[in-house]
Every structure is written in structure tokens, then in C-alpha cells.
Homo-oligomer: A and B are copies of this chain.
Amino acid sequence: MPSIAIDPDRLLGDLEHLRSFGAREGGVVRRAFSDADIAARQWLAGRMEAAGLEPVFDPVGNLFGLPKTDTPCILSGSHSDSQPEGGWLDGAYGVIAALEVARASADAGGPPVAVVSFQDEEGRFGALTGSRVWTGALPLDEADRLTDLEGRTFAEARAGMSGLSGPDFVDPGRFSGFIEAHIEQGPVLDDAQEAIGVVDVVVGIRSLQVRFTGYQNHAGTTPMDARRDAFQGLVAFAEAINREFVDIVTPSTVWTIGHVTLQPNASSIVPGQADFTVQWRDGSVDRLDRMEETVRATADRICDERALHLDLSNYVSVPPTEMNSGLRGSLEQAASELAPGKWRVMPSGALHDAANVARLMPAAMLFVPSIGGVSHNFSEDTKRKDLIRGAEVLARAIAG
């Protein structure tokens, strides 16, 4: 295979141009189906065409750039929509890196490369909506009933995206595999001064909504031993799972109590009710299971001991997704050549489109560092040399 030479100026120039759609204070505000998102997609379609790719919109607004070839080729890309207040690289990097690799490969006479920008990865309607619909994980009629915070349906949003949706879904049979480049969105590579992460697994997520119901009472006249304080129950629960997880977890495992609501939430009243979420993520189903047993048993025990009533709801279970070993091997080989001693195999703690695409074809991911681990934030950034090296690793893995 020929060596594919990335053009750094073309890569960074297109990234900067994409940033200009919805640019704010260094970040971007480019929600799926917004005017900025539509304008960005129109521009992307033009860049694909200029690169010799045929731009094809599907019924939900996923944008593919298809090379003229009859044999299955590698698909690469990510998403170009942003969080409500997002950074300039989350998603955008993977789309432009793929576009640059497709151009560079064509320039070098390398293998044809298809490019994709999935729609609504960031969850205006539902997380990863575009890739879930394309891969069959979410039926279109169900997606159409999803609503955003303003009550607009997905069906209305895509109907209003004039000229930017097509009649047909792209046949997955056109592709031999999918590689997504993405910023890490965490501090691991940056802390270790490493340049490349090759993802072995997109971690699974489980979460539960928990309600502890005790008894709301006067904070002056109710002795401590007569209280059924729902918040103190939550404190005991959080402390207990922290302690018990130690025997189960790895350094990559994470768990979070991120949402807490007390009733009546007044400084002089013993809390009668605590609602909270507990979420845990890991790459191993067995470990997720053992953590779930701990969560459920601990909640039971705390409520028994403290005369609280327990309700569990909104159980969510997203299984871990292993990345394809062949594509992963190509990425590892490329990383070891282009970033010797400065790369690692690591899990992805965030969900990505690649986890959906893995339903249809071999899929893999590579990470570039996020400075300070910051993402979903205007100040999200990555060193220019790391952006370039990520595209070079992607190109070499595809060139084989």
C-alpha cells in the first residue's frame, strides 16, 4: 500500500472552518437541526464533493461522502452537531480527520475511504439518534416520536431540514468497517503525555433512579434516634457503595451520583424523601453485574436499617461494545510506528457512534488527547500536533 500523507494545513483549515458555524467565545453552539448545523452540513457536503466523494443525505440527516467504488471500503467519521454549549472538536474532529484521510488517500492512490457525519449524536432528541436509526438500533417511527426540550418532535425537525435529507438509507454493505477518531474527553492521555489511545471497548452503562422515603419532621423537636432521615440514608448508601466497590472495580471503572433532590429541602426540616441517580460504567458485563448487585443490596440494607421505603425506577442498561480486533490491530500498529511509547489501549467511558455501527460491521476508535480532560465546555482543546498525528494514525491504519 502507498504511504498516505496528511496535509496538516488542509486538515486544520477545514477544522477551523467547521468551527465557524455557530462559533461562540471559542466554543460552538451547533445543536442538531439548528441553522448553524444545517449550514455546516451544506458546507461539509460541498467539501466532500470537492474531495471526489458523492454527498448523500439519508432520511434522518446523516451525511455520507461516498467514493466511486464497487467494492466495500472503510467508512470513517463521527458527528458535526454539538452540545448545547460545546467545544469545537467533539465530533467535528472525527469528521474532518476522515475527510482529510479520504482526500490524502485519493491523492496517494490509496484505498477509497467513505466519510460520515451522523446526525444528533449529542442528544437534542435522543443520544446518538442518527447512528441508532441507521444501524437499526432505533426504529424510525420510534425516533420520530422523540421530542426536544421545546416539545418539537424528531419527525418535525427532519421534515424542516429542506434539501438536507434524502429518500433512502445508505446500504451498510458498501462498507467493510468503520473507524471513528474522537477527542478523549477525559484526562488520561493528557496526564500521561501520550498522543494516541486505541479503544478496546466502549464501556457499558447502567443506571438506576433511587427514592428513599423516610418521614418529614421538625429539625428541632425530633430526636436523632427517632428520625427517618432520607438524606442521611443517601449518605450511608453513597459511603457504603464507595467502600464495597473497592473489591470489584478497576482503575477504569467509574460511578456517579450526579442528581439529588430532597423533599421538602428546607434547612429546618428533616428530609422526608431523597431522589437520586446512581450510574456506573465499565467494559465488563460481569463487573457491571457485580456492581449492580452491590447497588441493589446496599439500598435494601440501608432502607431496612433506617426504616426507609425504597423505590427503584428508570433502570438503564447499555451493554459494553468490544471494538473489532482486526481494525484495532491496524490502529495499534500505526500508533506504535507514529507515536512510539506514547500511546495506549484504553476503554471509552463515553458512548460514541462507533458502538452503534459495531452492530453492522467491524468498528474501531482512536482517541487524541483532551487538554486537561475538558470537554462539553467552550474551553475544550487539543494540541495541533496531536490533531495532526491522530489523522496520520487513522490514515496509516486504513492504508494497512
Contact = CB atoms under 8 A, between A and B. Distances in A.
B257 A231 contact: yes
A219 interface: yes
A254 B222 contact: yes
A111 interface: no
In this complex, which of A191, A257, A349 has the most chain B Cβ atoms within 10 angstroms of its Cβ? A257
A218 interface: yes
Nearest to A350: B220
A270 interface: yes
Contact of A205 (B203, B220, B259): B220
B262 A186 contact: no
Contacts of A239: 235-236, 239
Given A191-B226, A267-B279, A268-B279, A217 B373 contact: yes
A252 B223 contact: yes
Contacts of A231: 238, 257-258, 260
Contacts of A218: 185-186, 349-350, 375-376
A220 B255 CA distance: 8
A103 interface: no
A220 B267 contact: no
Contact of A219 (B188, B220, B258, B268): B258
Contacts of A268: 256, 258, 279
Contacts of A203: 220
A351 interface: yes
A266 B251 CA distance: 23
Interface string A159-185: 000000000000000000000000011
A188 B221 CA distance: 9
A348 to B, nearest CB: 8
A232 interface: yes
Contact of A373 (B221, B262, B376): B221
Interface string A203-234: 10101000000000111111111100101101
Given A187-B226, A226-B373, A268-B279, A219 B254 contact: yes
A222 B187 contact: yes
A268 to B, nearest CB: 6
A349 B223 CA distance: 9
Nearest to A261: B265
Interface string A308-349: 000000000000000000000000000000000000000011
A350 B269 CA distance: 11
Interface string A348-366: 1111000000000000000
B186 A254 contact: no
Given A258-B262, A260-B231, A222 B267 contact: no
B258 A266 contact: yes
A258 B265 contact: yes
Contact of A259 (B207, B224, B262): B262
A298 interface: no
In this complex, which of A184, A254, A279 has the most chain B Cβ atoms within 10 angstroms of its Cβ? A254
Given A220-B281, A256-B270, 13 more contacts: A186-B218, A187-B226, A218-B375, A219-B256, A221-B348, A223-B254, A224-B251, A232-B257, A235-B238, A256-B269, A258-B262, A259-B265, A259-B267
19 contacts: A186-B218, A186-B222, A186-B223, A186-B226, A217-B373, A220-B349, A220-B351, A221-B348, A221-B349, A222-B373, A223-B251, A224-B249, A224-B254, A231-B238, A231-B260, A235-B235, A235-B238, A256-B269, A258-B266
Interface of A: 184-188, 191, 203, 205, 207, 217-226, 229, 231-232, 234-236, 238-239, 242, 249, 251-262, 265-271, 277, 279, 281, 348-351, 373, 375-376
